[in-house]
Structure 1
Amino acid sequence: MMMVIVSYDVKTSDPDGAKRLRHIAKICQNYGVRVQNSVFECLVDTANLELLKEKLLDQIDETKDSLYFFNIGKKYHHKIEKFGSKDVIDLDGPIIF
């Protein structure tokens, strides 16, 4: 499994943009944890990363929106520093709802 940071910016000045934004957020929630409004930490394997990219690229309007994938890799534990009020979720540990 590797850590990938997904970041997006969707133009929401029209109803279609708001709909795209909701769909993109929902897709990202299925693969990772929201760490900022439009930023997700995703712990995925290569196959799921490609599937995630495909699903997100199907949703965005490349003339209005932007989408970034930052591949942090498998040894990500010491590459991410967090400061501030939001708690960090251990993606390797158990998650209880």
Structure 2
Amino acid sequence: MYFIVVYDVEVRRCRKVLKICRKYLHQVLRSAFEGYLTQEQYSMLKSELRKVIDEEYDSIYFYIIKTGSAPHKLIIGEAQGEKSMIE
């Protein structure tokens, strides 16, 4: 599966989130990553990120793109902004 991951986290946790994301994906912007992951890698990435963020304050958006199907979005932490067209 192909993933786009973007995050908005408190400054104290940025470096930790950055290092975790770099282990699995390619950095394309300061807080945006993309790349292919297996289901196991995806599970490990989510687990590692959940350990370092404050889910009541921080936000991490996973856009999941499977071949032949519509994109899917998973949010870890606080949803921010207006409702997106991708569910």
Give the Å deviation of 1:58.
1.0
Over 3 Å counting, the alpha-carbon distance change for 1:74 and 1:52 in structure 2 is: farther
Alignment of 1:85-96 (within 5 A): none
Q: Which residue of 2 aligns with 1:9?
A: 8
What's the Cα RMSD here? 1.6
Moved over 4 A (4+): none
Structure 1 stretches lacking a partner, 5+ long: 13-17, 80-97
Give the Å deviation of 1:74.
4.2
Number of residue pairs the alignment of both structures matches: 69
Q: Which has the higher strand share?
A: 2
TM-score normalised to structure 1 length:
0.65
**Counterpart amino acid of residue 58 in structure 2:** D
The one of 25, 32, 41 equivalent to 1:39 is: 32
TM-score normalised to structure 2 length:
0.72
**Counterpart amino acid of residue 46 in structure 2:** K
Give the Å deviation of 1:64.
1.5
Q: Specify the structure having the higher radius of gyration (Cα).
A: 1
Give the Å deviation of 1:42.
2.7
